[in-house]
Amino acid sequence: MGLHYFGTDGVRGVAGVSLTAEMAYRIGRYIGQYPHGTKNKIIISRDTRESGEMLLNAIVKGMVASGAEVFDEGVSTTPSISYLVRKNHFAYGIMISASHNPYSDNGIKIFNGEGEKLSDAIEEEIEGYMDKKEDDLPLVQGSSRLDPSLKESYIAWLLSKADPKVKNVKLLVDCANGSASAVAPELFKRLGCEVTFIHAEPNGQNINAACGSTHLESLKEALGHGSYDFGFAYDGDADRFMAFSSDGHLIDGDALIYLNALAMRKKKTLHQDKVVITVMSNFGLRKALDEAKIGYAIVAVGDKNVQAKLKEDHLSLGGEQSGHVIFLDDLNTGDGLLSGIKLLNLYEEDQQSFQSLRLLVVYPQVLTNIKVASKEQVAAIMNSKGLADLEAKETLRLGSQGRILVRPSGTEPLIRVMAEALDNQLCHDVVNELVRYISGGK
């Protein structure tokens, strides 16, 4: 049975339209008592979207009506939930966030007791209950309370991951007007870094708005007006991380994986000398890993897929070009704040190690998102013979060192088109041909 509410990263939609308080309440009712008859302890948090409080209140109401004991962390990051649910032996952790999406969207991410995203099987059970007309679950009075000590515990854990010598580093940090705004200032202050923050004044509507890890232009421009060791950028819920070096070199997820893989192999903490990357990872990363004699497994896009492969193959490092990087010995999901600390540790240990980025030759990559009317329309276009034929034709144009990736978004009604090759103009030409076809088929 296919999932129709849950995507690659929980339930996501336009707040109040395709993601309503009633839906949140019903999810809460089911999770609050699952497995059946269980009185669960559950942690919850949210990002800074204006719809977050409405959805949080609704899902908490549902969980409490099913007898759950709910602990509210307050505004915090998605990775904090993954960490705290495991540390404090909660049955589930819930994050109200739509990550890098615009403020009008919101989402519900659910973690199991190990801090992992829910399995498809449990998501199917939840959807089955959501589709029922009747609410046949018993009403049992639970409780809820705000617990600020949870966020403090998370910050203390992050600090424990930092090299004690990481001090006096000069940083420019873009919080995307999101979750990082509620954690990063205290974290970096206690680290002893000299930090200037931008986009750290959320108003409910400015999350990810021309800022953060998906809109790096303002961070790059601001770096040019000061003297900084690094520029850091997070997305709305701070599970993604991107950085710029002092000379303006972009350190994306691919570069983070490469740098950390080299360092971890030296320390013998890179299990099996192998990492997990995705189909979106740049071909240049594959070549650099080959030359460094570091193995890699390639999975579909989504940190859930990366984490599953890491766990299956007993590996310790993997991630996505977009900035989700998972250090599995530390946490079961990507954590942007942790990734930033790992980068500072590398900088403190050996600044010369960043010279190895010269060996990571990034192939030109052109990526375009095409809005489509509905998920059904997305499926129709993706399954069309015309698109398959055009992909085959354009792949031949790119040659043996080029590739095309056309895939549906797992969170929005979008088709993502990517072309990668040594010739940047050719990439643009190929993407334009594919966009023309898909737009005509919308």
Q: Is residue 38 part of a domain?
A: yes
**344 and 385 co-located in one domain:** no
Crossing angle, helix 149-160 and helix 184-191, to 10 degrees? 40
Q: Is residue 383 part of a domain?
A: yes
Number of domains observed in the structure of the chain: 4
For the domain that residue 109 is a member of, what is the CATH number?
3.40.120.10
For the domain that residue 406 is a member of, what is the CATH number?
3.30.310.50
**375 and 322 co-located in one domain:** no
| Residue with token string 């088929």 | 441
Q: Is residue 193 part of a domain?
A: yes
Final residue before a domain boundary, out of 229, 249, 269: 249
**For position 36, what pLDDT does the model report?**
80
**179 tagged catalytic:** no
Q: Is residue 190 part of a domain?
A: yes
Q: Which of 66, 76, 82, 99 is catalytic?
A: 99
Cα 411 to Cα 414: distance, rounded to the nearest angstrom: 8
Structural domain that includes position 371: 365-440
Q: Please report, as a single letter, which amino acid is at residue 169.
A: V
**20 and 109 co-located in one domain:** yes
Q: Is residue 85 part of a domain?
A: yes
**143 and 188 co-located in one domain:** no
Final residue before a domain boundary, out of 294, 326, 359: 359
**180 and 217 co-located in one domain:** yes
SS (H, E, C) the chain: CCCCCEEECEEEEEECCCECHHHHHHHHHHHHCCCCCCCCEEEEEECCCCCHHHHHHHHHHHHHHECCEEEEEEECCHHHHHHHHHHCCCCEEEEECCCCCCCCEEEEEEECCCCCECCHHHHHHHHHHHCCCCCCCCCECCEEEECCHHHHHHHHHHHHCCCCCCCCCEEEEECCCCHHHHCHHHHHHHHCCEEEEECCCCCCCCCCCCCCCCCCHHHHHHHCCCCCCEEEEECCCCCCEEEEECCCCEECHHHHHHHHHHHHHHHCCCHHHEEEEECCCCHHHHHHHHHCCCEEEEECCCHHHHHHHHHHHCCCEEECCCCCEEECCCCCCCCHHHHHHHHHHHHHHCHHHHHHHHHCCCCCEEEEEEECCCHHHHHHHHCCHHHHHHHHHHHHHHCCCCEEEEEECCCCCEEEEEEECCCHHHHHHHHHHHHHHHHHCC
Final residue before a domain boundary, out of 249, 272, 290: 249
**127 and 24 co-located in one domain:** yes
Please name which of 173, 177, 236, 185 lies closest in space to residue 202, comparing C-alpha atoms: 177
**245 and 258 co-located in one domain:** no
**For position 1, what pLDDT does the model report?**
52
**55 and 127 co-located in one domain:** yes
**408 and 381 co-located in one domain:** yes
Q: Is residue 1 part of a domain?
A: no
Along the 442 residues of the chain, how does pLDDT read in single tens digits? 568 899 878 999 999 999 999 999 999 999 999 888 788 999 999 999 999 999 999 999 999 999 999 999 999 999 999 999 999 999 999 999 999 999 999 999 999 999 999 998 999 999 999 999 888 899 999 999 999 999 999 999 999 999 999 988 999 999 999 999 999 999 999 999 999 999 999 999 999 999 999 999 999 999 999 999 999 999 999 999 999 999 899 999 999 999 999 999 999 999 999 999 999 999 999 999 999 999 999 999 999 999 999 999 999 999 999 999 999 999 999 999 999 999 999 999 988 888 889 889 999 999 999 999 888 899 999 999 999 999 999 999 998 889 999 999 877 889 999 999 999 999 999 999 999 999 985 4
**190 and 300 co-located in one domain:** no
- Half-sphere exposure for 13 (CA within 13 Å, toward CB): 16
Q: Is residue 275 part of a domain?
A: yes
**For position 441, what pLDDT does the model report?**
57
**331 and 224 co-located in one domain:** no
**286 and 375 co-located in one domain:** no
